[in-house]
Each structure stands twice: as C-alpha cells, then as structure tokens.
C-alpha cells in the first residue's frame, strides 16, 4: 500500500486511494493467495545508478584483464588504452555507489568489516583492491617507470577484474527478489559475457585492435552474454519470469538483445578496415551490455512487488512437501 509522508487532507485527495480497492466481502470464502493484493517483499531501494555501476564495473574489470593480455602480447598501445579505460571506469564506479547510499557520508563504513556472506562487502574490497592496482599500473605507465611493478599491478588488476565483473550478479542473486534469486546460476555468466563484450567493444572503438584480440574478446563475450541470457529466462519459474515480460522491462530486454546481436553481426560481417562499422559494432555491444543490466535491474523491482512471484513457487514447494508426507 502506498504511504505518503505529507499530510493529505481527505477533501483534497481525489476519489480512490492509489491502491485498487476491493472490499473484503468481494472475496470468496476460499482463502485468497495474497493480503489485499499487496506485495510481500519490499521493492529494492536502489536507483538506476546501481545498474549503471554494474555495467561500468564490468567494463573496468574486463578491460583490466584485456589490458594484461594485451601487455603480455606486447600490444603496448592497446594495453595502455585498456588500462586507462579500466581506471576511468573504476573511478566513475565509486561515486555511482556512494550516491545511492542513504547516508553517503558514511560510505567508509563499508570498510569496517569484511563479510564473505555479503557480496556487497566482498565487492567493496574487490573494487578497492582493483582501484589501487589499476591506479598503480596507470601511473607507472604514465611515467614509464618501474616496469616490474607495473606488470605486477596489471596482473593484480586483471585477477581482481574478473570477479569485479561477476560479483555484481552474485549481489543481485543474493536477495529475496525472485527474478534475481532464481537466476543465481545464470546471471553471473550474463554479466561476465557482457563485461567481456563491453571491454572488447570499448577497445574496438578506441581503435587499438591491431591483432584481433579485442574483436575476439568482444564477439566471445557477446555470445556468452546472449546464450546465458536465454538460459536465464528459460529456466525461470513461469510466474517469476512474468517480471521480464512487463512492457517497461521487456522493452529494455529486447533492446539489449537486439543491440548485442546487431553488434555481433556487424563485427562478424565487416572487415578490419571498415572503421565506421567497427565503431558502430563496438558501440552496439556496449549498449547491449548496459541495457541487459538495466533490464535485469528493473525486472527486480517488478518481481519484488508481485506477491504471486513470491507465493507461487513457495506454495508449490510446500504442497509438494506435504504430498511427499502424505506419500502420494
């Protein structure tokens, strides 16, 4: 039910309260499956900045990995650009996260503890470590000093970059929101794929792909993202999956798949010299990855507010269990 903090005076309020009203008497004597059609769960308090962070974080993590790979292959220019992509993305991430806190001034409290039970806690430490290493790497690169340290830093960033790209999926999965929790097995792969696609895409846009590494990463990532996403939707309980089919979410989701697919196609079909198409393809992959995160994020709000998404699967479990007991 909607509650407004301001004091609304009856006379000023217009006819019916926000929630659709239905007299109890209208309900049949057989028990209803909800309480006045109200949600059971609370909608997530997170704003879209979080979804954007998921994207940016993924971009940062995968870029760092890509940068390390490029470095090992001696692609210094590609490595540099990817490193800076990662650094900038990481830099953007912090404010995106802090902006979403109820008490931004207390963001440091995140570092009070380390809780393996809390993906957000783990993620905070990953992000911190990642930020530190990628920062060192970038500085060394900037002043062209301490090559060993840089290599080490690049390696560290790459190592932390991988979980940085996927822990965000664990963060969503580790909630009571059905459409997120039920996707705990697939979402990390969706996010991993998206991260790779975005890192590759970014590299392609920056035109640092002289040896096809970025192209392969981008295409591979997009493929993983698209396949994992299909699996995710398929495996969901149909009642839970409804959250993905409400118009607002569906539009985002469809847009995500189209752009990823289009981007992939474009890159596959066009040769390396066709700069414009490559930029377009890379951009489409980035867009796809971003839209996917937004779609999943929005689906969570819808799913939390739908009492049936919570009740139906649980009721099924209970009934099944009682059937077992009854030995039927």
| Closest to another protein by CB, 116 or 326 | 116
| Closest to another protein by CB, 172 or 295 | 172
| Closest to another protein by CB, 15 or 144 | 15
Q: Are 47 and 30 in contact (CB under 8 A)?
A: no
DSSP string, 269-297: HS-TT-HHHHHHHHHHHHHHHHHHHHHHH
What letter would DSSP give residue 42? P
| Closest to another protein by CB, 88 or 170 | 170
> Quick one: 293 exposed, middle or buried, by C-beta within 10 A (0-12, 13-18, 19+)?
buried
| Closest to another protein by CB, 23 or 327 | 23
> Quick one: 327 exposed, middle or buried, by C-beta within 10 A (0-12, 13-18, 19+)?
exposed
To the nearest whole angstrom, how small is the minimum distance from the Cβ of residue 274 to another protein? 15
What letter would DSSP give residue 13? S
Apex 134 CA angle, 132 and 137, nearest 5: 110
To the nearest whole angstrom, how small is the minimum distance from the Cβ of residue 223 to another protein? 9
* Alpha helical stretches, state H, 100-174: 119-143, 147-173
To the nearest whole angstrom, how small is the minimum distance from the Cβ of residue 272 to another protein? 8
| Closest to another protein by CB, 22 or 254 | 22
To the nearest whole angstrom, how small is the minimum distance from the Cβ of residue 193 to another protein? 8
To the nearest whole angstrom, how small is the minimum distance from the Cβ of residue 111 to another protein? 7
To the nearest whole angstrom, how small is the minimum distance from the Cβ of residue 328 to another protein? 18
* Residue 170 C-alpha from the chain's centroid: 9
What letter would DSSP give residue 146? -
CA separation for the pair 203, 81 (Å, rounded): 7
């Amino acid at each position: 039910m909607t509650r407004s903090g301001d004091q609304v005076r009856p006379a000023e309020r217009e006819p019916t309260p926000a929630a659709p009203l239905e007299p109890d008497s209208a309900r049949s004597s057989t028990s209803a499956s909800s309480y006045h059609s109200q949600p059971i769960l609370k909608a997530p308090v997170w704003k879209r900045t979080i979804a954007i962070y998921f994207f940016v974080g993924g971009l940062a993590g995968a870029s760092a990995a890509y940068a390390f790979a490029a470095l090992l292959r001696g692609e210094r220019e590609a490595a540099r650009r990817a490193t800076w992509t990662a650094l900038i993305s990481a830099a953007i991430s912090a404010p995106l996260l802090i902006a979403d806190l109820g008490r931004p001034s207390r963001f440091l409290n995140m570092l009070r503890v380390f809780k393996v039970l809390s993906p957000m806690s783990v993620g905070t430490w990953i992000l911190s470590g990642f930020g530190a290493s990628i920062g060192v790497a970038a500085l060394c690169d900037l002043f062209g000093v301490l090559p060993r340290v840089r290599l080490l830093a690049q390696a560290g960033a790459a190592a932390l970059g991988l979980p940085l790209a996927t822990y965000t999926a664990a963060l969503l999965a580790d909630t009571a929101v059905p459409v997120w929790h039920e996707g705990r097995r697939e979402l990390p792969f969706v996010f991993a794929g998206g991260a790779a696609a975005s890192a590759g895409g970014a590299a392609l846009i920056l035109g640092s792909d002289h040896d096809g590494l970025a192209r392969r990463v981008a295409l591979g990532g997009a493929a993983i993202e698209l396949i994992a996403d299909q699996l995710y939707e398929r495996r969901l309980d149909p009642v839970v999956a409804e959250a993905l089919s409400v118009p607002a979410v569906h539009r985002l989701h469809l847009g995500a798949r189209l752009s990823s697919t289009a981007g992939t196609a474009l890159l596959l079909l066009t040769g390396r010299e066709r700069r414009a198409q490559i930029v377009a393809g890379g951009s489409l992959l980035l867009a796809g990855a971003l839209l996917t995160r937004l779609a999943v994020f929005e689906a969570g709000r819808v799913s939390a507010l739908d009492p049936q998404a919570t009740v139906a699967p649980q009721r099924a479990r209970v009934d099944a269990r009682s059937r077992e007991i009854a030995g039927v």
